Amino acid sequence: MGDPDGPNSALIADTERAATPTTPKSLDERDISCRFKGWPRGPGMLGRRSIEDVFTRFFDSMGLIGPVLFLVLAFSAYSLDNVLVEGNQFGATAEQASSMGPTIFPILFAALAGRFLKTLVRYLAERGHRLGPLEMMHSSKTVFSTIESQFCLRRFSVLGCALFVLWSMSPLGGQASLRVLQREHRTLYEMKTIKYPHTGRGGEITILGNGALLNGTADASLITINNVFSSALLEPLSIKHSAKDSRGNAKIPCLDAFGLSPLNTSWTDVTGSLEMDYYATLLGIPISNASGGANTTTEVTITYGYTDFICKDRPFPINDDYVAGSPWTDHEFAPSSKQTPAVPSQGSDSSPTTDSTVRISEDVLPRLSDHSTQTYNGSNLILTTQGGVRRKVTAGSLGIGYRGTTNVSWTQGDAFALNMTLYYSGGDTGGFCSDRWIARTCDMIQVDMEARLTCEDNLCHASAIRALPPNNTRRPDSTPFAKDSNLAANFALYFPSSTGDGAEGMINPLRLFLRGSDMPFAQSVDIGCSGLPDDRFSRRLRLAVNTYVQLSADPTLSVVKGVPVDDRQDSWSWATKSEAIKLPGSFLKAEARTRSLHGLYRVNWAWLIVLVLTSTVLLACSISTLVLGSYIKAPDILGHISSQTYDNLHVTIPAGGSFLDGMDRSRLLWDAEVKVGDIDPIAKVGHIAFATPSDERYVEQVKKKRQYF
């Protein structure tokens, strides 16, 4: 020992005193044991299973499920690569699980990786290992704590880098689970067959329409035709001017809407809005199997035909002593003062040369059936010829007559194949005292074309049109009326009265529509025809006639969207017609090209690798925890506050209990008062320890300027 009288004698004495453990005053062991209930009173054995041990082992086993589920998510993402999103319930479930990954994965990783490192430290400590690496592993709880421990230990080693990589997998795995499955949009193309009804010559007229117009029976079919036709005239202007009818079927523009001729076979885009007069019909053409759902575009080219009209104003003068409202019996034209118009006879372009007085009596109508010319009666006004005599009855009515020709032909140089001529006559509303009649002679022309329909979101519209090439095998060679003379005659009979009988003194909405009224049912005052230009009248007549003809083909198709039944027969024989079976008309087929923008699941391969790697590491940690835990025998004393009480003479606790785990020890010493402070405050050099303050031992607060051993 040093000199007791030397200059450092006091410091040496304090050091020796501090090095000598100070034993607290003797306490009754029984009193101490009574203060901590449950403290073991004698020695015990290791390996005794408590309820806490059972739960710990159970949760360690359950820890295997989490990494496995994330590996399942990775496999699901792999299997969903290039799979459609629409209607994929499995993909929706995988997306939902993926969205929860950034929250669940870091929590799961912290639990399993932290548990693994603690188990590894216990395993190595039980078998003997260097303290530094054990401390580095034990203090590594997050990425930041890993860096902090290396900085504080002043050791940047391979172990520290490995721990940093391990804890970096926690956020990477969470992001990988979120980003492993992504969506992208891709355009897919496919071909499909659609059906649509015949147009042009009326197609194959169904029993519904044909029964009314061919046989002339005013049954329920005719009521359906007239009601739907009237409803088309009743539609608001927004629908009439729209490219689709109220059922969503596409309306086809006429060629003249864009200045095209029947010889112009180049495609012309349909752009902008059109007036109703430039559509072939007020009703669209129904198409089967055209809908493809949202984000789907279907393009199909169909053949379409309509009857066009070229009308010219032909005045029929009468003399001034005409009496309004008379049946016009014994009324004569005055050929000497006014030129009498020529009305062609059947099959001839020549006009009668007679200048005899025209006598029309009330018995004209019953004798029309014997007339040599197909004649159409629209109430009271008849315009026809019989033996070179002109006839017409009562002003203020609607009348149409026509004749057919036998020399119908189509050549590329002859754009207009003249099929028949239609005569229209209606009373001028200048008053019944008017000095003239307005009659129009209209050439009826069959126009055949192709229309490209574009269907988006289950709604179709015409996107381009062109004239049908002359060599096309589907080209009709005549108007609908040339197909069947009875059909034409009954059309002439029922068409004028489709919106009302048009009796004298009554407003006929169809007549108002032909004379230029856009909303004929909303108009209570008749309007004149003399001021209506020929081209405007021609378009109105075309619109009305083609609408009625299309309705007559199959009125049931005009009250629904599309062709409601896809398995209809493509064709059927006229010989098998039966009023009982109500067979549908024949349909044309066309190949449609569908372009759909579909959502596809795509796997991100980089994130998939990260997810598989991190999940595999996490699974390995979980398995290692179970395996290493089965070899550990020593109690878990690392990282617990109660571990500071093991063999600590400065803490007043019962003797024994060294076989207790840290948590068991903390539970039993719950009420023990402890303090980190100076246990030798009187000495010149203090001593910091984990101690129990009491009356026998004063534990002073540590001070920055005081020296301690």
274-310 burial, b at 16+ Cβ within 10 Å, e below that, comes to bebbbbbbbbbbbbbbbbbeeebebbbbbbbbbbbbb
User: Quick one: pLDDT at residue 99?
Assistant: 92
Both tokens of 213, joined, read 């117009």
H-run or E-run covering 301: strand 296-317
Of the pLDDT bands very low, low, confident and very high (cuts 50, 70, 90), residue 641 is confident
Beta-carbon-side half-sphere exposure of residue 224 (alpha carbons within 13 Å): 20
Q: Can you say whether the dihedral through the CA atoms of 181, 182, 187, 193 is positive or negative? A: positive
Nearest residue to 345 via CA among 376, 385, 382, 397: 385
The per-residue pLDDT for 300 is 92
Give dist(CA 683, CA 679) in Å, integer: 10
Check residues 511 and 579 and name the one with the higher pLDDT: 511
Whether the pLDDT of residue 139 is over 60: the answer is: yes
Place of tokens 């493509």: 570
On whether the CB atoms of residues 381 and 421 are closer than 8 A, the answer is: no
Percent of the chain with pLDDT over 90: 24
What phi-psi label fits residue 562: left (phi over 0), alpha (psi between -120 and 50 degrees) or beta? Answer: left
**What distance separates the 2 farthest-apart alpha carbons in the chain?**
171
Q: Is the pLDDT of residue 361 over 50?
A: no
pLDDT digits (tens, 9 = 90+) for 253-265: 999 999 888 888 8
469 or 136, which is more confident: 136
Res 71 pLDDT > 70: yes
The predicted-structure confidence for 190-232, as pLDDT tens digits, reads as follows 898 888 887 765 444 444 445 456 555 556 678 888 888 999 9
Mean predicted confidence (pLDDT) in 157-168? 91
Nearest to 388 by CA among 360, 368, 358: 358
More reliable by pLDDT, 78 or 6: 78
Q: What is the pLDDT of residue 112?
A: 93
The first and second tokens of residue 506, run together, are 């009554």
451 pLDDT more than 80 = yes
Residue 430 has a pLDDT of 37
Q: In sequence order, what DSSP letters do the residues of 580-601 get, joined into one string?
A: TT-PPPPEEEEEEEEEEEEEEE
- Closest alpha carbon to 39 in 653, 682, 692, 590: 653
Q: Contacts from 416-419 at CB under 8 Å and sequence distance 24+?
A: 416/262, 416/443, 416/445, 417/445, 417/446, 417/477, 417/478, 418/443, 418/444, 418/445, 419/444, 419/445, 419/446, 419/478, 419/479, 419/481, 419/482
Which pLDDT value is given to residue 79? Answer: 94
pLDDT tens track for 365-409: 333 333 333 333 333 333 333 333 333 333 223 344 333 332 223
Give CA–CA dist 433/553, Å, rounded: 41
The answer to whether residue 362 scores a pLDDT higher than 90 is: no
pLDDT tens-digit map of 659-696: 888 888 888 888 888 999 999 888 899 999 999 888 77
- How much of the chain exceeds pLDDT 70, in percent? 63
Q: What's residue 178's pLDDT? A: 94
In the predicted model, is pLDDT for residue 428 greater than 70? no
Q: What pLDDT was estimated at residue 320?
A: 33
What is the pLDDT, as a whole number, of residue 481? 63
Backbone φ, ψ for residue 29 (5° rounding): -60, -35
The residue with greater pLDDT, 502 or 462, is 462
H or E element, residue 187: strand 181-197
Measured CA to CA, the distance from residue 708 to residue 517 in angstroms comes to: 111
User: Mean pLDDT, the chain, as a whole number?
Assistant: 72
Instruction: Tell me the two tokens of residue 18.
Output: 């501090």
Distance CA 302, CA 516 (A): 31
Cβ proximity of 448 and 305 under 8 Å: yes
CB burial of residue 571 (10 Å; 0-12, 13-18, 19+) = exposed
Pairwise CA distance, residues 225 & 548, whole Å: 8
Helix, strand, or coil (residue 34): helix
Separation of alpha carbons 191 and 299, rounded Å:
10
CB 419 within 8 A of CB 479: yes
Q: What is the pLDDT of residue 561?
A: 61
Residue 73's H or E segment, with its range, is helix 65-79
pLDDT of residue 162: 92
User: How is residue 594 written in tokens?
Assistant: 């569908």
Residue 166 has pLDDT above 90, yes or no: yes
Q: Is 97 helix (H, G, I), strand (E, B) or coil?
A: helix
Of 611, 697, 598, nearest to 181 (Cα)?
611
Asked if residue 466 lies in contact with residue 254, where contact means CB atoms within 8 angstroms, the answer is no
Check whether 551 has a pLDDT greater than 50. Answer: yes
- Range in 276-280, 350-354, 689-693 the model is least confident about: 350-354
Which residues in 482-516 are b (16+ Cβ under 10 Å) and which e? bbbeebbbbbbbbbbbbbbebeeeebbbbbbbbbb
- Mean pLDDT within 19-35: 51
Query: Is the pLDDT confidence value at 145 over 90?
Result: no
pLDDT at 506: 62
Helix (H) or strand (E) holding 170: helix 158-179
Highest average pLDDT, of 236-240, 441-445, 516-520, comes from 236-240
Residue whose token pair is 């001529």 = 421
Helix, strand, coil: what percent of the chain each, to 5?
35, 20, 45
Determine the pLDDT at residue 586. Answer: 60
More confident residue, 423 or 130: 130
* Rg (alpha carbons) of the chain, rounded to whole number: 51
* Across 406-410, 486-490, 643-647, 690-694, least confident range: 406-410
d(CA 293, CA 457): 6
With the CA atoms of 138, 143, 144 and 149 taken in that order, what torsion angle do they form, in degrees rounded to the nearest 10? 30
348 pLDDT higher than 90:
no
Q: How confident is the model at residue 117 (pLDDT cuts 50, 70, 90)?
A: very high
Which region among 91-95, 100-104, 223-227, 607-611 has the lowest average model confidence (pLDDT)? 223-227
HSE-CB of 374 using CA atoms within 13 angstroms: 22
Consecutive H or E run containing 120: helix 101-127
Enter the tokens of residue 224.
């359906």
